[in-house]
Amino acid sequence: MVDLPRHIRGRPNPSGRMYFSFEKGRGTPAAWPPVPLPFDSQSDEFWRRCRQSQALHAERDGEVWAWFWLGAGGRLHALPQPRGEGGPTAFWAAVDQAEERDRTADGEARRTFDALITLYMAHPAYTNLADLTKRDYDRHLRAIRRDWGDVPVSDLTAVSAQAAIDLRADTPAVARYFRSVLSKLLAFGVPRGFCATNVARTTEKVEHEVEPHVPWTDWAFEAFFEHARPGLHLPVYSALYTGQRSIDVIPMVRPAKGANAVELIARKTGAAVYVPIHSEYREILERTHIDHTALHLREDGEPWTLAAYRTAWQRDFTSVNAKGQPTSASPAKKAAMARLREGGFVFHGLRKNAVNMLLEAGNTEAEVSAIVEMSEQMVRHYSRDVNKRRLAVNGMRKLEEAWIETRKNLFGDGSARH
């Protein structure tokens, strides 16, 4: 049998079931009234309550007992009676609240990471982030709280920060994001007195070469539309003509008849997006019209969810079902999809197609940014190949225009040939 913590006693009832309580000073004149522990001794909660009970404090005034929870910094937090209104459940809930208050107060006094994260997550610097960005931040904030929650922020050194980043070096994208979140958190803490400097800025930047998404080629589109299941088709057209991310494309609402644009709120940025409907896209929408509020439907007429669409996409491209078994796809389909996989054609590449088409049509980076909800800096990143082609075309055009004089300079005017 596992030894019970100090002052914890167990008693069996007539049926053999064990009941536990915290009984300090049992059998002495200074004995405290027993505090029930009505929890399964096999549960984590039971052992958490055992730990908390060691910080209980009771004082007697005549026949009345006053109960407190003693915090790490020596603060006493008043508690209700263990057998009073609400019973043990209310008592232990009050202990949890006291522990949280003490932890927060102690953290604020010592300027810990725990207190900084709590303050940051209540501030518009965090609350105004898009939901998807919050989700990514939360993963790293939880790790920081887990590893350094009780540590004063000012105690963190560049060496310790670098060590935490290096622990994630096997996945450079994760290491880079962790460094970024840590840096933002420390930058938030500097003017609020948690630390004097942002030590994350002095750590090494994580070298992470992002694989560029490949824009789809003519043959890739032909292979996809010939062999992919029909239910996957319309979202591809929507991505191509709107330039939006899959998280925004798949749940699109069908535009009202006669609408001039697709309007939505980008899930990544939280920004309102207004994409005028291209004439060919309008024709596609009219030909695929079904009386349903959702735009993208499965073959059975039910709306796609993002998870289901991605699963179906993966199954079609790999010819392997969710159980890892080969599908009954024809040899021609398997070959076509294998070629698409090897070519690196993914759904997000359609976004690059959209950017390229807009740029090649002469749109400015600001105009493209407004349509596809992408920063102008990222548009420039996506447009490098387009700009190279544009420079090459302009260069050759200028050579053609100056060819007569250029030819004379190279070969002479031909008068000396005979």
Q: How far apart are CA 86 and CA 313, in angstroms?
A: 54
Could you tell me the CA-to-CA distances from 81 to 27, 44, 99, 189, 324 in Å, in that order?
21, 24, 17, 40, 58
Q: How far apart are CA 2 and CA 60, in angstroms?
A: 33
Residue 10, C-beta contacts closer than 8 angstroms, at least 6 positions apart: 4, 18, 19, 20, 41
- Residue holding tokens 């630390």? 195
Question: Given phi > 0 = left and psi -120 to 50 = alpha, else beta, which region is 92?
Answer: alpha
pLDDT for res 259: 93
Q: How far apart are CA 168 and CA 182, in angstroms?
A: 13
Helix (H) or strand (E) holding 82: none
Q: How far apart are CA 228 and CA 340, in angstroms?
A: 11
CA-nearest of 265, 261, 253 to 290 is 253
Helix (H) or strand (E) holding 37: strand 35-37
pLDDT for res 418: 47
Could you tell me the CA-to-CA distances from 159 to 62, 170, 181, 200 in Å, in that order?
57, 19, 17, 9
Residue 298, C-beta contacts closer than 8 angstroms, at least 6 positions apart: 231, 304, 308, 312
Q: In whole angstroms, how large is the CA radius of gyration of the chain?
A: 33
325-334 CB contacts, 8 Å cutoff, 24+ apart: 332/227, 333/227
pTM: 0.56
Asked whether the beta carbons of 273 and 401 are under 8 A apart, the reply is no
CA-nearest of 53, 79, 72 to 112 is 72
**In 342-392, where do the E strands start and end?**
none
One pLDDT digit (tens) per residue for the chain, 418 residues: 567 888 999 888 888 788 899 999 988 988 999 999 988 888 889 999 999 999 999 998 888 899 998 887 778 889 999 988 889 999 999 999 888 888 777 667 788 998 899 999 999 999 988 787 888 999 999 999 999 988 999 999 999 999 999 999 888 889 999 999 999 999 999 999 999 999 999 999 987 665 568 899 999 999 999 999 999 999 999 999 999 999 999 999 999 988 999 999 998 888 899 999 999 999 999 998 888 999 999 999 999 999 999 999 999 999 988 778 888 999 999 999 999 999 999 999 999 999 989 988 888 889 999 999 888 888 887 777 666 766 677 778 877 877 776 666 666 665 555 4
Q: CA end-to-end span of the chain, whole Å?
A: 114
Which residue ranges form the domains of the chain, and what is each CATH number?
A: 8-109 (no CATH), 114-202 (1.10.150.130), 218-382 (1.10.443.10)
